Amino acid sequence: MSTDTRATAAVIDYATQTTLERFPGEAVALAKQCIIDGLGVILAGSAARGTGIVRDYVRAGKETGEATALGAEPFTCRAASAALVNGTAGHALDFDDTQLSSSPDRIFGLLTHPTIPPLAASLAVGERLGVSGRQFLEAYLVGFEVECKMAEAIHPTHYQNGFHSSGTFGTFGAMVSAAKLLGLHGEALGHALAIASSMSSGIRLNFGTMTKPLHVGRAAQNGVMAAELASRGHTGGKDALESPWGFFRVFTLGSGFDADRIVGALGNPPSIVSPGVSLKPYPCGSLGHPTMDAMLKLVVASDIAPEQVTAVRVRAGSNILNPLRYPFATSELEAKFCLPFMMSSLLLRRKAGIHEFTDEFVRSAPVQAMMKKVTTVRDAEIEARGFEKMRSTIEVDLADGRTLVQEADERYRGGPEKPFTRAELHGKFTDCASLVLRPEAIENVLGRLDALEELRNVRELVSVVTSGVLAGQPTVL
What pLDDT score does 1 carry?
Answer: 35
- Average pLDDT score over the chain: 94
Per-residue pLDDT band for 109 (boundaries 50, 70, 90) equals low
Q: What percent of the chain has pLDDT above 90? A: 87
Strand pairing report for 392-398 and 309-316: antiparallel
Per-residue pLDDT band for 287 (boundaries 50, 70, 90) equals confident
Helix (H) or strand (E) holding 314: strand 309-316
pLDDT by residue (tens digit) across 391-440? 999 999 999 999 999 999 878 889 898 999 999 999 999 999 999 999 99
What pLDDT score does 69 carry?
Answer: 98
**Cα(409)–Cα(294) distance, integer angstroms:** 7
| Domains of the chain with bracketed CATH | 3-278 (1.10.4100.10), 286-407 (3.30.1330.120)
Higher pLDDT, residue 54 or 471: 54
Q: What is the mean pLDDT of residues 185-207?
A: 96
Give Cα separations from 129 to 18, 125, 260, 459 (angstroms).
20, 6, 35, 9
Residue 2 has pLDDT above 80, yes or no: no
Residue 330 has pLDDT above 50, yes or no: yes
What pLDDT score does 311 carry?
Answer: 98
Q: Residue 375: phi, psi to the nearest 5?
A: -125, 155
In sequence order, which residues have a C-beta less than 8 Å from that of residue 254 and are 6 or more positions away?
Answer: none
What pLDDT score does 286 carry?
Answer: 83
Quick one: CA torsion of 304, 306, 308, 311, rounded to 10 degrees? Answer: 100
HSE value, Cβ hemisphere, 13 Å, CA-based, for 58: 28
Q: Residue 16: phi, psi to the nearest 5?
A: -75, -40
**Cα(228)–Cα(383) distance, integer angstroms:** 45
Q: What is the mean pLDDT of residues 449-463?
A: 96
Q: What is the mean pLDDT of residues 234-245?
A: 96
Residue 282 has pLDDT above 90, yes or no: yes
Query: Cβ distance 287 to 109 under 8 Å?
Result: yes
Query: Cβ distance 105 to 96 under 8 Å?
Result: no
Give Cα separations from 97 to 73, 166, 188, 425 (angstroms).
25, 11, 31, 12
The letter for the amino acid at 33 is Q
What pLDDT score does 4 carry?
Answer: 57
Strand pairing report for 309-316 and 98-99: unpaired
Q: What is the mean pLDDT of residues 139-160?
A: 95
The letter for the amino acid at 262 is I
The letter for the amino acid at 103 is S
Per-residue pLDDT band for 104 (boundaries 50, 70, 90) equals low
**Cα(432)–Cα(407) distance, integer angstroms:** 30
What pLDDT score does 431 carry?
Answer: 94
Least confident range of 203-212, 221-230, 442-451, 468-477: 468-477
Higher pLDDT, residue 3 or 364: 364
Per-residue pLDDT band for 108 (boundaries 50, 70, 90) equals low
415-434: burial string, b at 16+ Cβ within 10 Å, e else: beeebbeeeebbebbbbbbb
